[in-house]
Amino acid sequence: KQEVTQIPAALSVPEGENLVLNCSFTDSAIYNLQWFRQDPGKGLTSLLLIQSSQREQTSGRLNASLDKSSGRSTLYIAASQPGDSATYLCAVGGATNKLIFGTGTLLAVQP
């Protein structure tokens, strides 16, 4: 059974820092991995989608990498801003057509 873990569970950084969020999964037979952002009381906003054949994806200040063989993905946020404060979720998709979510990392960027 696929399990997805995110470390750390919470992170507080000063504005301007570069930071890395980690996601690990137990079954490497995935089709893709998706990173989401969730603001308090709101739905999920898709940030980046990485296909199993890809190593990384970039969007603005965000860069996500995927190492399928080791069961790891990282989300790199450059020059963090207070507006980046949110919960970040990773999720893996596989043959079952289901999305398995990690537990999330709560990020606080201090002005």
Nearer to another protein among residue 80 and residue 89 (C-beta): 89
Collect all residues with Cβ–Cβ distance below 8 Å to 60 and sequence separation of at least 6: none
Distance CA 7, CA 21 (A): 7
Nearer to another protein among residue 76 and residue 101 (C-beta): 101
The minimum distance between CB 9 and another protein, in angstroms, equals 11
Nearer to another protein among residue 25 and residue 36 (C-beta): 36
Enumerate binding residues for another protein (CB under 8 A): 31-32, 34, 36, 41-46, 49, 51-52, 89, 91, 93, 97-99, 101-104
The minimum distance between CB 76 and another protein, in angstroms, equals 19
The minimum distance between CB 14 and another protein, in angstroms, equals 27
Distance CA 35, CA 22 (A): 11
